[in-house]
Amino acid sequence: MTETLTIPRPDDWHLHLRDGAMLRAVLPESARHFGRAIVMPNLVPPVVTGAEAAAYRERIMAALPDGSGFRPLMTLYLTEETDPRDVEMAARTGLVQAVKLYPAGATTNSQSGVRDFDKVTGVLETMAQIGLPLCVHGEVTDPAVDIFDREAAFIDRVLDPLRRRIPGLKVVMEHITTKVGVDYVAAGGAAIGGTITVHHLVLNRNHLLAGGIRPHYYCLPVVKREEHRLALRKAATSGDPSFFLGTDSAPHTDPAKLQPCGCAGCFTATNALAVLAHVFDEDGALDRLAGFASEHGPAFYGLPVAEETITLEKIPAACPPAIETGDGPVTVFDPGFAPAWRVRP
């Protein structure tokens, strides 16, 4: 008899959809399995104002497959010129669910991010007052800090002082990659949560670098030592409501990945849930998969758990190696093994 698991339809609390032809190609991959997603605002130019978020949401809705119930949850890109009044209005009307902090230069399309945190204090204080979460890319950009240490340095230099200065601010530390990040979120109380990606649950830096560089495993924050991967798996499968799924699925065309200075990002939307079920099964935690994928995120964001369900079944299924877009092919994440689970069609 086929082993099955039915859970509330999961949500993706960190997703890149891009725009234009790329948006139209990758959106169905997320909408097939996920009910909602926090959509990243790092377009070119970035989504900074409420009006820009509304326009982007319209483009996403227009690109959805017919009959899809997928709901994009919009965010604003925090800059040093962001208007607190615009943020408050966008939040109170239900247009946006969070504001995203990119330290300037930290990752893809982050050039407009924050350099001087004193210049965004007013926005952050407004967000604390209205309960709007701040999603952070948790890395410093100081070139003197080793790239494998930038998450820990961000906690010490930026995040912890910021939370002490504005204690009412809700924060999501996105795509945690280290035991330091796991421990900080776990000890931080109800006002902080952490998303964990699928690829950081299965990759360490040997997968990226040993035996040759694998560009499709290059992401930011970069994958770390095995001890950190194991800490992430322990956190994700623990049942701790501080942690929830954010795939950080980030599509780039193969020509953009396969060049001397290739783009950072793993495109996992197509097979994220199959890989996730495989991981939880391996760790004897299938009973906690619904919490991580479907329940903890809505609780943090103050949203209801999905009434619709999906069923996962223990049947291996082939995944396409790439999807075609109007901009070029995008390679689908290869976890290095054949997932034993699939989402029932």
Query: What amino acid positions are annotated as catalytic residues?
Result: 248
Choose among 95, 30, 27, 34: nearest CA to 64.
27
| CA separation for the pair 245, 228 (Å, rounded) | 17
Other C-beta atoms within 10 Å of 16: how many?
Answer: 25
Provide the edge-to-edge strand list for the sheet that holds 96-101. Answer: 12-15, 36-39, 71-77, 96-101, 134-137, 171-174, 192-196, 243-245
Please tell me what DSSP assigns to residue 248.
Answer: -
Largest CA-CA distance found in the chain, in angstroms, rounded: 60
Residue in 95, 79, 10, 4 with CA at minimum distance from that of residue 45: 79
Please give the Cα distance from 158 to 171 (Å, whole number).
Answer: 12
At 206, the amino acid letter reads: N
For CA atoms 224, 226, 231, 233, the dihedral sign is positive
CA 23/CA 271 separation, integer angstroms: 18
Indicate the burial class of 320 (C-beta count within 10 angstroms; 0-12, 13-18, 19 or more).
exposed
What are the residues facing 96 on neighbouring strands?
A: 74
Helix (H) or strand (E) holding 322: strand 322-325
- On whether the CB atoms of residues 217 and 250 are closer than 8 A, the answer is no
Contact criterion met (CB below 8 Å) for 56 and 79: no
Q: What's the CA angle centered on 37, arms 31 and 42, to 5 degrees?
A: 110
Contact 157, 140 (CB under 8 A): yes
AA letter at 244: F
